[in-house]
Amino acid sequence: MPDISSRPSILSRLQCKLVLRLLDCPRRQRLPRLSCRQNPACIAAKNAEIDTYHNSISRMVDVTPEKGAGFEHWAKVFNLKQSAKSVSELERYGFKALEELQTALEIAKSDESACRETLKAVERELYSKKELQKRVLAYANTRQIRDEYRVLKSDKAKAKYRKTHESEFIIIESAQKYFKEHGITKIPSYKTLQTEIERLTSQQNELYEELHEKRDKVKRLQTITDNIQKTIGQENKRRDTRCSQATMKPNRLNCVKDWKR
């Protein structure tokens, strides 16, 4: 993996150029030309990139000798780095034991599930409000047809009027059926529904951000838990191997006595 701190990346240089272009300077004034290592904006962008890289935690990979010595060496070094990061995060969260980490992971999963359910409820309500708004708008546009139909006295005139405006009456009957099925006795105004839709949309966006944060937290805690468990398993396996080798190793003193006999 290349060392990103050795030289500035292309993204950092582009950010540096954009910052220099956005500086509020007189048109004829010439700015001193700074290298990327001397420019504060470029240094800040590079440090942010380095912090993001160092703070990211990945799952430890399986060391398989079948893939070659190069991969095996890289996997051992990579797992060592991820194990160190996981232990550091364990201390940063203030967990004293693996059980506390697992409890925190279960709580984070529960919070994520609750947030997802709340988001689904808001989405259903938002869809319902938008559908109602569409029906209300379509019903309001047929007001003139309904008023003219109400004035007619004879059945023959009403039948002729309905045949002439058949498409409008289909919209009217569909809207009235929708209002009856959903128990709507008083039709709300379009403006009231628009205000409610804007409120629900804002709440939906906030829940999206909250769910994204909770999902990242669950993913991070799950990765730390897996890495810690894998590290403990590797240490136990290494200890068992040393113990088995020590048991199988012959006693040197007994070998000397047997040789003398």
Q: Which of 44, 56, 54 is nearest to 15 (CA)?
A: 44
pLDDT at 126: 95
Retrieve residue 52's tokens. 């993001």
In a domain, 234, yes or no: no
In a domain, 40, yes or no: yes
Residue-averaged pLDDT of the chain: 76
Rounded distance between C-alpha atoms, residue 251 and residue 240, angstroms: 19
pLDDT at 110 over 50: yes
**Are the C-beta atoms of 49 and 4 separated by less than 8 Å?**
yes
Separation of CA 5 from chain center:
27
Long-range contacts of 212-218 (CB under 8 A, 24+ apart): 214/108, 214/111, 214/112, 214/115, 215/112, 217/108, 217/112, 218/105, 218/108, 218/109, 218/112
In a domain, 67, yes or no: no
In a domain, 144, yes or no: no
Confidence of residue 70 (pLDDT cuts 50, 70, 90): confident
Retrieve residue 224's tokens. 């730390």
pLDDT at 243: 67
In a domain, 13, yes or no: yes
**What are 4-19's pLDDT values in tens digits?**
444 444 444 444 544 4
In a domain, 122, yes or no: no
Phi/psi region, residue 180 (left: phi>0; alpha: psi -120 to 50; beta: rest), is alpha
Instruction: Give me the sign of the Cα torsion angle 110, 114, 119, 121.
Output: positive
In a domain, 200, yes or no: no
Q: Which amino acid is at 75?
A: A
**Are the C-beta atoms of 221 and 86 separated by less than 8 Å?**
no
Rounded distance between C-alpha atoms, residue 199 and residue 126, angstroms: 9
Rounded distance between C-alpha atoms, residue 166 and residue 55, angstroms: 66
**Per-residue CA distances from 98 to 63, 91, 256 (Å):** 24, 11, 48
**Are the C-beta atoms of 118 and 185 separated by less than 8 Å?**
no
pLDDT at 161: 86
Retrieve residue 221's tokens. 């805690």
Buried b (16+ CB within 10 A) or exposed e, 23-49: eeeeeeeeeeeeebeebebbeebbeeb
Q: Which domain holds residue 13?
A: 1-22+36-45
How many separate domains does the chain show? 1
In a domain, 135, yes or no: no
**Are the C-beta atoms of 141 and 165 separated by less than 8 Å?**
no
**What are 158-178's pLDDT values in tens digits?**
888 888 888 988 998 898 898
